[in-house]
Structure 1
Amino acid sequence: MKLNSVILGLGLATITALGASAETWKLAITDVEGMERLQTEWGPFKTALEGATGETFEFFPVNSRTAAAEALRGETVDFVVSGPAEYVVINKLTDATPLIGLGRPDYHCAIIVRADSGLNQPKDIKGKKVAFGDIGSTSNMLCPMQALADHGIDPVNDIERTHTSKNIAFEALKHGDVDAIGMNAGSFMSIRAKEETLPYGFFKMIARSGDLPNDMIMVGAHVPQDAAMMVREAILENKAQIIAGITAHEENDKYIGMDLVAINDGAYDYVRAMYANAGYPQFDAFIGD
């Protein structure tokens, strides 16, 4: 009788332990608003993530970068997919840390001018009108400003700065309404490839950055370290399935050819320098919010 009781007790303990081992985690994507878009664009990734980890992930919609930070601080979201510029601020506000880098191919920025402009080096940009992309964007604002700073041009005081969409900036440069544009180099090449009325040599890049730090999956400071490491190892061990999930929808075409890598906070010090050179040395608030 006692033996049966012990066996029964062990069996219940095992069942309880197994039940307790599975977790449900909340997952947010900073640049995707609404549950419908989350399910459509990132649903295959969530499914692959659950298959790799054996855990359950539920989407947590956020309507802004600030909302994502507040959710992490309030421990209502556990994992967040975000970009480098967003991460630097979120880390400052919440102590969230990068878990997995989403290694985007050819992820860098450039300063582009018209070939007939007489502007041949970054120093020639001084005093000129330069169009950048969305305020706060890593590759369309912060990075090209840093590229100028790397060549001795103060992007706050040495140029006439404007912000607009990538397509409008391209058209403004084409028609001579601005002297230069700073944007994601891949985005420029994509827009340029659709331009059929101009010769290939109509534009030229006079500066470009090195490859930018990765987008990432970050983890909240409240998530136990062993659970975070389990998720990281499961992702790295199942790269092909996770990548297929991320790139399943055309909205994520920028990740085609990507790799998944383990990363740490130090990789984002260059982005912190970008904030400082853009005139935001505290990087404790989202630019443009």
Structure 2
Amino acid sequence: MKLKSLILGVSLAAVSAMSATAENWKLAVTDVEGMERLQLEWGPFKDALEAATGDTFEFFAVNSRTAAAEALRGETVDFVVSGPAEYVVINKLTNATPLIGLGRPDYHCTIVVRADSGINAPADLIGEKVAFGDIGSTSNMLCPMQLMADYGVDPVNDIDTVHTSRNIAFEALKAGDVAAIGMNAGTFMGVRSTETELPYGFFKMIARSGDLPNDMIMVGAHVPADAAEAFRTAVLEHKTEIIAGITAHEENDKYVGMDLVSIDDSAYDYVRSMYTNAGYPQFDNFIGE
């Protein structure tokens, strides 16, 4: 009887110790609106996080990037999954920092023209109309504009810039209504693959970027440094399970083939350069919001 009581006492003490060290965190995803979508698309990720860290995570729904920044600043959310363009602004507004990079494969942008256009380099687009995607998008606006700047073309003053959806931009390029489109390279390849009535060589890329800085899991400035580092360590040690959680739903197919990597703020200096070359040198506002 005394032995059983001793074992029970030790077990309860262990459970109590675990409870004392476990944390309850709030988790947001910037491009997913509504709790129902969060649960459906990111629920397996949350479950994997809890298994890896021993902590509990509660979803915090945000309806905009501004809302995510305000939640971090108000300390009502602790960890946020976001993209590189969003991060640069959120960091400026809240001092949140990146912990884990979501290494997306083939995440880069491109400048595309018609093969019969006579345009062979970005400099040939000076004075021409160029279509870009959603305002504020990393790979469909900021990156292509930075790519133009990398080749010596001012994307604010040297070209006639228009913003539209990728499908409208693609149709405009086909019809010759724009000289070029700047967009996510993977998206371009996907759209072009559906154009079965056109020769494969109807379009050509005249420039492409290097791989873009990663999407990331960022942590609020209010979270203790040792807790943030423990989170990072646990995620990287259980990356296989975490990745499986992220890619469990088809809405996250862009992450298929991904890796998880440790990152810091300096990885996003190139994105800050994108904002500057796009005409937003302060990067303290969400473009288009």
- The TM-score range, normalised by the shorter chain, is over 0.9
Q: Which residue of 2 is the match for residue 27 of structure 1?
A: 27
- The answer on 1:121 being equivalent to 2:121 is yes
1:67-78 superposed matches below 5 A:
67-78=67-78
1:135-193 CA distance string (max 9 Å, x none): 00000000000000001100001000010111111111111111100000000001111
Q: CA RMSD in A?
A: 1.5
| Count of residue correspondences | 281
For 1:143, the aligned partner's letter is C
Q: What is the Cα deviation at residue 194 of structure 1?
A: 1.1
Distance in 2 (CA, whole Å) between partners of 1:121 and 1:227 is 49
Distance in 1 (CA, whole Å) between partners of 2:245 and 2:128 is 44
Distance in 2 (CA, whole Å) between partners of 1:116 and 1:178 is 13
Distance in 1 (CA, whole Å) between partners of 2:206 and 2:196 is 22
SS at match of 2:25: strand
Distance in 2 (CA, whole Å) between partners of 1:50 and 1:220 is 18
Distance in 1 (CA, whole Å) between partners of 2:119 and 2:73 is 47
- The answer on 1:221 being equivalent to 2:221 is yes
Q: What is the Cα deviation at residue 19 of structure 1?
A: 2.2
1:58-116 CA distance string (max 9 Å, x none): 10000000000000000000000000000000000000000000000000000000000
Q: Which residue of 2 is the match for residue 51 of structure 1?
A: 51
Distance in 2 (CA, whole Å) between partners of 1:228 and 1:203 is 46
Q: Which residue of 2 is the match for residue 235 of structure 1?
A: 235
SS at match of 1:33: coil
The range that moved more, 154-163 or 167-176, is: 167-176
Q: What is the Cα deviation at residue 14 of structure 1?
A: 6.5
Q: Which residue of 1 is the match for residue 6 of structure 2?
A: none
| Structure 1 residues not aligned, in runs of 5+ | 1-8
Distance in 1 (CA, whole Å) between partners of 2:14 and 2:43 is 32
Change (3 A) 1:44 1:15: closer
Q: What is the Cα deviation at residue 48 of structure 1?
A: 0.7
For 1:22, the aligned partner's letter is A
Q: What is the Cα deviation at residue 10 of structure 1?
A: 10
Q: Which residue of 2 is the match for residue 272 of structure 1?
A: 272
For 2:65, the aligned partner's letter is R
Q: What is the Cα deviation at residue 18 of structure 1?
A: 3.1
Distance in 2 (CA, whole Å) between partners of 1:236 and 1:82 is 18
Change (3 A) 1:11 1:105: closer
Q: Which residue of 2 is the match for residue 5 of structure 1?
A: none
Distance in 2 (CA, whole Å) between partners of 1:257 and 1:11 is 41
The range that moved more, 232-241 or 13-22, is: 13-22
Q: Which residue of 1 is the match for residue 263 of structure 2?
A: 263
- The answer on 1:168 being equivalent to 2:202 is no
Q: Which residue of 2 is the match for residue 40 of structure 1?
A: 40
SS at match of 1:63: coil
For 1:277, the aligned partner's letter is N
Distance in 2 (CA, whole Å) between partners of 1:258 and 1:47 is 19
Distance in 2 (CA, whole Å) between partners of 1:238 and 1:15 is 23
Change (3 A) 1:235 1:11: closer
1:90-109 superposed matches below 5 A:
90-109=90-109
Q: Which residue of 1 is the match for residue 5 of structure 2?
A: none
Q: Which residue of 2 is the match for residue 187 of structure 1?
A: 187
Distance in 1 (CA, whole Å) between partners of 2:234 and 2:266 is 23
1:234-287 CA distance string (max 9 Å, x none): 110111110011011111000000000000000000000000000000000100
Distance in 2 (CA, whole Å) between partners of 1:148 and 1:280 is 16
Q: Percent identity?
A: 79
Task: Normalising by structure 2, report the TM-score.
Answer: 0.95
The range that moved more, 136-145 or 169-178, is: 169-178
SS at match of 2:75: coil
The range that moved more, 96-105 or 163-172, is: 163-172
Distance in 2 (CA, whole Å) between partners of 1:254 and 1:37 is 17
SS at match of 1:286: coil
Task: Normalising by structure 1, report the TM-score.
Answer: 0.95
Distance in 2 (CA, whole Å) between partners of 1:54 and 1:10 is 20
SS at match of 2:80: strand
- The answer on 1:178 being equivalent to 2:169 is no
1:208-235 CA distance string (max 9 Å, x none): 1111000000000000111111111111
